[in-house]
Amino acid sequence: MSSERLLRLYREMYLIRRTEEVIADLYKEQEMRCPVHLCIGQEASPVGVCQELEPADVAFSTHRSHGHYLAKGGSLLALMGELYGRQTGCSAGNGGSMHLIDRAAGFMGATPILGATMALATGAAFATSMRQETRVTVAFFGDAAIEEGVFYESANFAVLKRLPLVLVCENNGLSTCSPLSVRQPPTRTICDMARGLGMTAVSGDGNDVLAVSQLARQAIDIARGGGGPVLIELPTYRWREHCGPGFDFDLGYRHPDELAAWQERCPMQRLVRHMEKTGVADAAALKRCEAEVQQEIDAAVRFARESPYPDESLLLAHEYMP
Amino acid sequence: MKPRTLRYCQAIHEALDLSLARDPSVYVMGLGVPDPKGVFETTLGLAEKFGSQRVLDMPASENGMTGIAIGSALAGMRPVLVHQRLDFAILAMDQMVNQAAKWCYMFGGQQGVPLVVRMIVGRGWGQGSQHAQSLQSWFAHVPGLKVIMPATPHDAKGLLIAAIEDNNPVISIEHRWLFNIEGPVPEGHYREPIGQARVIRPGRDLTIVAVSHMTIESLRAAEVLAEQGIEAEVVDLRTVRPLDRATILQSIAKTSRLVAVDTGWPSCGVSAEIVALAAEGAWSALKAPPVRVTLADCSSPSTPALARRFFPRVHDIVNAGRRVVGLEPLTERAPAAGDPPADVPDNDFRGPF
C-alpha cells in the first residue's frame, strides 16, 4: 500500500479518534444534550471497510456510528451541529448522536435498535438488485445485533436473493455491560452462524486497519460480483463506557487491565508501527495531518456552537414527507 | 348508464394492477401474494402479468421483511407489503414503529419512507384470538404513520392508490368481511385523499362515526333507524390517522348527538378518540352523552355462540342510536332456526378464512 494511502488511513482514524476525544472532553459542559456511544479504540473497522467502498456504495449503522459516518465521508460540521442540537445538524437537531445521516456521502442512516438497520441495508441491496445496479450496501453493527431475529431474517433473504450486501459485525464482546459469554455459546462463532445461513463469512483482526481493508476488499468484490452477501466479523474493543464520555471501571464489569491490553493493540499505533517497519513513516507528515484534523474539529465545534437552534415552530414540521 | 361495480377485493386488485403498471418502482410482496388464492383475490394474476421480480412471495420473516421493504424504499422503491392477517404484522412493530414511522422526523425531514403495509383483519368463522385483531389504534397512536381503513370498493381502490403514491408509510387495514361487498368503482387511475372522512349518509338526528366494516353495518343500522323515524348521519372515517376532525365536528354540530362505532376494542381505541374529540371540540353542541359501539373488552372467542356477543352488529348500533336520541333499547329477538348465521359476512361465505 502506498505511503500516501497509509497516511490517509491514519488521517481518517485520527479524525474519528480526535473527534470523539473532543466530544468526551466537551461533554461535561452539558451542551451536547444527547446520549453518545463512542467508538474510541474501534476505528480500524469503519476506516478499513469504507476506504474500500466506491462513492456510490452506501452504508447503514447503529448507535455507535460516529466512526462509520465520518469514514463514509459524512460531514463533520453536520455531525457537531447534530450533537449540539442545532438546526445545522445532519438531522436538523431531531436525531442526535444516535440518528446520523449524510445521504450525499452514501451514509443512509443510523438508528440504535441494534439489528434493525441490517434489514434496511438488506432492503437497499434488494433495491439495487431489482434495478440491476452494481452498488454494494454495508451494514455496521455489533455482536449483540446478531442475537436479534432480524439478523437471521435479513441474512436468510440476502442469501436467498444473493444480494450485494456486506455485513460488518464489530464484536467488542459487550452488549452494554453484558459480556458475550452470557449471550452466546462459546462453542459457536458468529462466522459459524453466518455460514450456517449460507453466507460467506470471514473473521480478522478488528484492530488492524490493513487486515480489515483486505477482508473488506474481498468481501466487497464477492458481493459486487454476484457472489451474495458476506459477513465480516471484527473482534475489537471499546475503550470508553457503553454510553457517555468516560470510563466505567467503577461498575466492576470489566477490569482496567483488559483496557490496557487492548490499548497495546491500538489501531492507530499499530498502523504507525507498520509504517515504521516498512520505512514509510514520516513523523512530520503525521504531525501535519494531526494538526489539520485538529483544526477541522475546532472549526466544527465553533460552527456548531454558533449555529442556531431549530425554531420552536419546527416541532411538528417533519412528521410527514410532503 | 349504470356505473361499473366491483367487489372490494377486485377494487384492491385494480389499484395494485394500475400502480404496478404506472410506476416501475412499485412492487408487491407478502406471504402467498403469488399463490393460487392471491390473498383473497387481491393479487391474483399479478405475478404472471408483472413478473416474479415485482410481485413476489417472501419468507415468513415479518419483521425482517418489513425492514427490507423499508430499506428498499430508502433506495427508491415503493413497496407494498401484504399480511393476510394483521396479527402477523405485530412481529414487525420494530420496523414499522421504530424505523418507518420515525425516519422522516428523526432525520429532520430529509427522506420519507414510501411504504404501504396491507393488513387484513378477520372476523367470525372461529378466527379466534390471533386472527381477528383490529389494532388500528396501535398504529394511529404513532406519529409518522398514516392509517387508512376503506369501507367501500370505491375507497379501497382510490385510497390504496393514494397510499402507494404517498411518500410516507401507510398502514392499510382491510376488514375481511368487506372483500365481497360490491359497489361502484370508476375505471382508471384516481386517488382518494388520505386524511378525509366522508359523510356517506346525511341525516339530522344523530351522527354515527364509523370505520371500515362498521361503516357498512352503520349504514344498515341507519336504514333500520330511519324506519323508526330517526335520521342518522353516517360519517365514514376512511382514514384513522391523520384524523379528519373538521368533518366529524361539523356533523356533530349539526346533529348534537354522537355514536362512535369501531371494529376494535373500547380501551384507548378509535371510538375513545372520537368521543374525546367531541368532548373537546363540540361540548356545547352535545345534547346527550356519546355512546360507543365496539368489540367486547376481551380477546376474540372462537365459538359462534360467544362471537355473537363479542362482535358488534347492526342491532347494537341501532340501540346506540336510540339511546342518544333518548329512546329505550329494542330487545333483540332470540335467534331462530333458519336465521342466517351471525359469524359470517354473508350467506355465500363458507370459510375457512
Domain count, chain B: 2
Cβ neighbours of B224 (radius 10 Å): 17
CA A79 and chain centroid, separation: 14
* Predicted confidence band of residue A140 (pLDDT cuts 50, 70, 90): very high
The whole-number pLDDT of residue B347 equals 75
Active site residue B14: no
Residue the block writes with cell 372483500:
B179
Angle CA(A257)–CA(A259)–CA(A261) in degrees, nearest 5? Answer: 70
The whole-number pLDDT of residue B343 equals 85
In a domain, B307, yes or no: yes
Range of the domain at B136: 5-184
B171 and B211 together in one domain: no
In a domain, B100, yes or no: yes
B13 is written with which cell numbers? Answer: 386488485
Residue the block writes with cell 428498499:
B72
Looking at chain A, the whole-number percentage of residues with pLDDT higher than 70 is: 100
B206 and B180 together in one domain: no
pLDDT in tens, A197-229: 999 999 999 999 999 999 999 999 999 999 999
Instruction: List chain A domain ranges.
Output: 3-306
The whole-number pLDDT of residue B2 equals 86
Nearest residue of A to residue B100 by CA position? A120
In a domain, B315, yes or no: yes
What is the pairing mode between strands B239-241 and B146-148?
Answer: antiparallel
Query: Which amino acid, A235?
Result: P
Residue with more model confidence, B343 or A128: A128
The whole-number pLDDT of residue B345 equals 87
* Predicted confidence band of residue B342 (pLDDT cuts 50, 70, 90): confident
**CATH of the structural domain A3-306, one choice from 3.40.50.2300, 3.40.50.720, 3.40.50.970, 3.40.50.300:** 3.40.50.970
* Predicted confidence band of residue A73 (pLDDT cuts 50, 70, 90): very high
Q: How far apart are CA A204 and CA A210, in angstroms?
A: 10
Question: What is residue B269's DSSP assignment?
Answer: S
B171 and B248 together in one domain: no
In a domain, B345, yes or no: no
* CA dihedral sign, ordered A168, A173, A175, A176: negative
CB pairs under 8 A between A and B: 145
- Asked if B149 and B240 count as a contact pair (C-beta separation under 8 A), the reply is yes
B138 and B256 together in one domain: no
A302 is written with which cell numbers? Answer: 465553533
Burial class (CB in 10 A: 0-12, 13-18, 19+), B334: exposed
Residue the block writes with cell 456504495:
A57
Q: Tell me: pLDDT of B339 over 90.
A: no
Contacts of A149 in chain B (CB under 8 A): 61, 63-64
Looking at chain B, the whole-number percentage of residues with pLDDT higher than 90 is: 91
Q: What is the predicted ipTM? A: 0.97
The whole-number pLDDT of residue B192 equals 98
Nearest residue of B to residue A115 by CA position? B64
Q: How far apart are CA B353 and CA A108, in angstroms?
A: 40
Q: How far apart are CA A9 and CA A51, in angstroms?
A: 8
The whole-number pLDDT of residue B341 equals 78
Taking alpha carbons only, the member of A216, A169, A204 closest to residue A50 is A216
- Asked if A58 and A107 count as a contact pair (C-beta separation under 8 A), the reply is yes
What's chain B's average pLDDT?
A: 96
pLDDT in tens, B16-68: 999 999 999 999 999 999 999 999 999 999 999 999 999 999 999 999 999 99
Active site residue B62: yes
Q: Tell me: pLDDT of B351 over 80.
A: no
Q: Tell me: pLDDT of B338 over 80.
A: no
The whole-number pLDDT of residue A235 equals 98
pLDDT in tens, B208-242: 999 999 999 999 999 999 999 999 999 999 999 99
The whole-number pLDDT of residue B78 equals 98
Q: Tell me: pLDDT of B350 over 80.
A: no
User: How does DSSP assign A4-38, residue by residue?
Assistant: HHHHHHHHHHHHHHHHHHHHHHHHTTT-S-S----
B320 and B280 together in one domain: yes
Burial class (CB in 10 A: 0-12, 13-18, 19+), B53: exposed
Residue the block writes with cell 480489515:
A212
The whole-number pLDDT of residue A231 equals 98
Angle CA(A190)–CA(A191)–CA(A192) in degrees, nearest 5? Answer: 90
CA B66 and chain centroid, separation: 20
In a domain, B341, yes or no: no
Catalytic residue among B13, B14, B83, B131: B131
Q: Tell me: pLDDT of A113 over 80.
A: yes
pLDDT in tens, B251-291: 999 999 999 999 999 999 999 999 999 999 999 999 999 99
B221 and B279 together in one domain: yes
When CB atoms are compared, the residue of B71, B75, B111 closest to A119 is: B71
| Residues contacting A129, CB < 8 A, separation 6+ | A161, A162, A163, A164
Residue the block writes with cell 520505512:
A279
Q: How far apart are CA B321 and CA A262, in angstroms?
A: 73
B154: CATH: 3.40.50.970
B148 and B11 together in one domain: yes
- Asked if B154 and B185 count as a contact pair (C-beta separation under 8 A), the reply is yes
Contacts of B54 in chain A (CB under 8 A): 130
| Residues contacting B347, CB < 8 A, separation 6+ | B340
When CB atoms are compared, the residue of A94, A124, A317 closest to B71 is: A124
| 8 Å CB contact of A120 and B70 | yes
Q: How far apart are CA A304 and CA A296, in angstroms?
A: 12
pLDDT in tens, A153-212: 999 999 999 999 999 999 999 999 999 999 999 999 999 999 999 999 999 999 999 999
Is any Cβ of chain A less than 8 angstroms from the Cβ of B162?
A: no
Please give the average per-residue pLDDT across A264-292, as a whole number: 95
When CB atoms are compared, the residue of A111, A121, A127 closest to B77 is: A127
B282: CATH: 3.40.50.920
In a domain, B331, yes or no: no
B238 and B277 together in one domain: yes
